[in-house]
Amino acid sequence: MAHVGDTQAGNIPLAEVPDVELYHPKSWITKYVFSQDAKVIAIQYSCTAIAIGLVGLVLSWLMRLQLGFPDTFSFIEASDYYQYVTMHGMIMVIYLLTALFLGGFGNYLIPLMVGARDMVFPYVNMLSYWVYLIAVIVLTASFFVPGGPTGAGWTLYPPQAILSGTPGQEWGIILMLVSLILFIIGFTMGGLNYVVTVLQARARGMTLMRLPLTIWGIFVATILALLAFPALFVACVMMLLDRVLGTSFFMPDIVEIGEQLAYTGGSPILFQHLFWFFGHPEVYIVALPAFGIVSDLISVHARKSIFGYRMMVWAIIAIGGLSFIVWAHHMYVSGMNPYFGFFFATTTLIIAVPTALKLYNWVLTLWKGNIHFTIPMLFCIAFIVTFLNGGITGLFLGNVAVDVPLSDTMFVVAHFHMVMGVAPIFVVFGAIYHWFPLMSGRMLNEGMGKFHFWVTFVGAYLIYFPMHYLGFVGVPRRYYEVGETSFIPDSAADLNAFITVMVLIVGFAQVVFIFNIIRSLIKGKLAERNPWNATTLEWQTAEFPPGHGNFGDLPVVYRWAYEFSLPGVKDDFIPQNLAPNLINMADDDDSVDEQVAE
C-alpha cells in the first residue's frame, strides 16, 4: 500500500502546476459556521436538507392519515390537505433531493474525488449555502403566516395559485415564490463551483474519462440544473409580479366569485411550459447523481470494474441532453396540438434507450461479481429494481393515448414516487452508509441498517404497488376525500387504509435511521481508513476523516477508478493514485508492468 504523496516512486514527474492558495480559517466561526471548506459546507447543506426533508416526511404522514382514514382527523381540513400536498412535493423535490445530491454529496465528493484541495471559488460556495439556508427559512416561515403556506399544488399552476379560494393566497404563495427565487440564486453560485472544479481543478492524471461515475453524474446534473433553473426563475418572477403588482403575464381575463378581476390577456399555459422546461430536467437533476453514485457503489461492493464505462458516461450525457426536449409530456391534457404530443411522446420514449443501457450495465457489473451484501449494496440492488419499475410505468405515461385516461390519477403519483422519490432516496441511503465512515470516521450500526433497509424496501413496494391499482380504477390524485363515487369500489378505501399503515411503518424505520446516525456519530465502531477497499481518491487523504486541504501533496492519478480483482495482483483493488511500481504482486515477479497491463 502506498501512502499519499508517494509520487517519487512513480513514473510521472511531480506536477509543475503551482499549488492552489487555500483560505485558512482563523477562528471557530470561520471554521465551522461561515466556512469556505467544501466539506463543512457539504455537511451544512446535508443537515439543512435532511431537516427540511423530515418536515416533508411528516407532511406525507398527515396526508396519508387523511386519505387512509377520512372523517377521522378533525384537525385536517381540506385546505390543510392541499397545503400538505404542495409543501411535501416542493420540499422533497427541490429543498431535499436537489440540495442533498448537489449541495451535499456534490460539495463533499467533488474536490475529494477529483483530487483537489477545495472548490475553485470557495467564497461563492459559502454564499451558496447561506442563500440556500435563507430560502429554506423563508419556505418554513410560510407555515406561520396568516393563511398558512400555499396549497396550489407543487406545480403552482396559475391562475388558481394566486386566486382566492386557494389556501395561502395571501402570503403563502408570495413566500414560496421568493423562496424558490432565492434557492435558484444560491444554487447557481454552488453549481458554478461544481462544474468548474470538475473541469479545471482535477489532479494530475485525472482525465475526464478517469473520473468516477459519481462525479460524472453530479457534473452533468449540475449543468442541467444551471440551464433549467432559469426557466423556473423567470416563471417565479413573473408570477410574483402577477400576484404583487397585478401584471398579467399568466393571468387571463378571469371572474372570481362573480367579480371581473383587473387581470387581462395573460397566458396560463405559458407558465406550464416554463415550469416543465425546468421540471423535466429536474427529474434528471435528481436521477443522474443517483445513477453515478450507484455505479460506483455497485462496482466497489461487487469487487468488479463497472461494465461499459464509456457507455455509462455517454448515456449520462445523452440523458441530460434529451431531458430538455421532453417537457411537454407533462402537459398532454393541456389541449395541445396532436403532432406536438406525438413529438414529445417520441422523444420521451427515446430516453428509455440510454436509461435501459445503464440498467443493463449495472446488472452486467453484478454478473459474476464478488458481491458483498453490505447495506450500500442492498440499497443499490433495491434502486435498480425500483428504478426499473418506475421507469416502465413512465413508458406507459409517456404515450399520449395511455396518459390521457391515467392523467391526474394515483397511477401518476405511484409512478413518479417510484422513479424519482423512492429510487433516488435508496441511493441517498446507500451513499450515506457508504461514505459515513469517511465523513465521521465511524461505521454505522449494521443491525439497525439492515432493519432500516428491509422495512424501507419492502414497505415502499407495499405503499406504491397498491397505488398503481388505485390509479387504474380511477382514484384521482390531490383529492381531499373521494366520498361516494360510483366508479370507485369500496375496496379502494381499504387499500388506502393499508397504504397509510405502511407509510407509518416505513416512517418509523426512518426514525431508526436518524437514531442510528446520531448514535454512531457518538459511539459507533471506529472505521478503518478504507473500510470498503475502494479505489477512489477520497479514501486516500492525508488525514482520516479528511482535514482542511484534503491531501498532503496533491495526488497523481495513474488509472481509472475501477481496477478491481486484477489477476496477479495481491490486493483485489488498486487505488487510483498508487504508482505502478508500488503495486503488490501476488508472487515475486520482475515483470511488474507486464502483469499490470493484462
Partner 1 sequence: MSIFSQISEKPWLESVDNIINMRPSNAFHVPTPIVGLRILLAAMTVLFVLTAISYADHMRLPNWRPLPDPFLLWLNTLILITSSVALQWARSAARHGDLGAVKKVFFAGGVLAIAFLLGQFLVSQQLVDMGYYASSNSANAFFYLITGLHALHLTGGMVAWGRTITKLLRGFSASQIALSVELCAIYWHFLLFVWLGLFTLMVST
The answer to whether residue 203 forms part of the interface with partner 1 (CB under 8 A) is yes
Binding residue for partner 1, selected from 195, 283, 293, 463, defined by CB under 8 A:
195
Q: How far, rounded to the nearest angstrom, does the alpha carbon of residue 295 sit from its chain's CA centroid?
A: 15
Among 145, 234, 388, 592, binds partner 1 (CB under 8 A): 234
Among 64, 88, 117, 210, binds partner 1 (CB under 8 A): 210
Binding mask 105-134 for partner 1 (x = CB under 8 A): ---------------xx-------------
Report the C-alpha gap between 311 and 192 in whole angstroms: 26
Sign of CA dihedral 507, 509, 510, 515: positive
498 in contact with partner 1 (CB under 8 A): no
Cell numbers that stand for 576 in this block: 487510483
β-bridge mates for residue 165, sequence order: none
What mask of x and - would describe binding to partner 1 in positions 213 to 232, judged by CB under 8 A?
Answer: -------------xxxxxx-
Sheet strands (E) in 468-578: none
Q: Which of 199, 353, 404, 586 binds partner 1 (CB under 8 A)?
A: 199
Residue 298, C-alpha cell as written in the block: 455497485
Is there binding between residue 196 and partner 1 (CB under 8 A)?
yes
In whole angstroms, how close is the CB of 555 to partner 1 at the nearest point? 11
Binding residue (CB under 8 A) for partner 1 from 233, 291, 327, 457: 233
Residue 188 found at the interface with partner 1 (CB under 8 A): yes
**Residue 303 interacts with partner 1 (CB under 8 A): yes or no:** no
Distance CA 177, CA 94 (A): 13
Q: Using CB under 8 A, which of 98, 305, 347, 500 touches partner 1?
A: 305
- Grid coordinates representing 319 are 440523458
Instruction: Tell me the H-state helices in 302-422.
Output: 309-322, 338-366, 375-398, 400-406, 410-417
> Which cell is 324 given?
430538455
**Which positions ≥6 away from 504 have C-beta within 8 Å?**
61, 64
- Of the CA atoms within 13 Å of residue 495, those in its CB half-sphere come to 18
Q: List all residues 6 or more positions away from 413 whose beta carbon is below 8 Å from its beta carbon.
A: 467, 471, 477
Cβ atoms of residues 488 and 474 within 8 Å: yes
Q: Which three cell numbers stand for residue 564?
A: 478491481
Binding flags for partner 1, 508-547, as an x/- string (CB under 8 A): ----------------------------------------
Binders in 347-376 for partner 1, by CB under 8 A: none
264 counts as binding partner 1 under rule CB under 8 A: yes
Single residue of 248, 389, 393, 409 touching partner 1 by CB under 8 A? 248
3-state secondary structure of 304: coil
Q: How far is CA 234 from the centre of its chain?
A: 23
Measure Cα distances from 359 to 88, 231, 280, 324 in Å.
29, 30, 20, 21
Site string for partner 1, 555-584 (x = CB under 8 A): -x-xxx-x----------------------
- Note whether 209 binds partner 1 by CB under 8 A: yes
Residues that bind partner 1 (CB under 8 A): 11-12, 17, 120-121, 188, 191-192, 195-196, 199-210, 226-231, 233-234, 237-238, 241, 245-249, 262, 264-267, 270, 274, 277, 305, 309-310, 313-314, 317, 556, 558-560, 562, 596-597
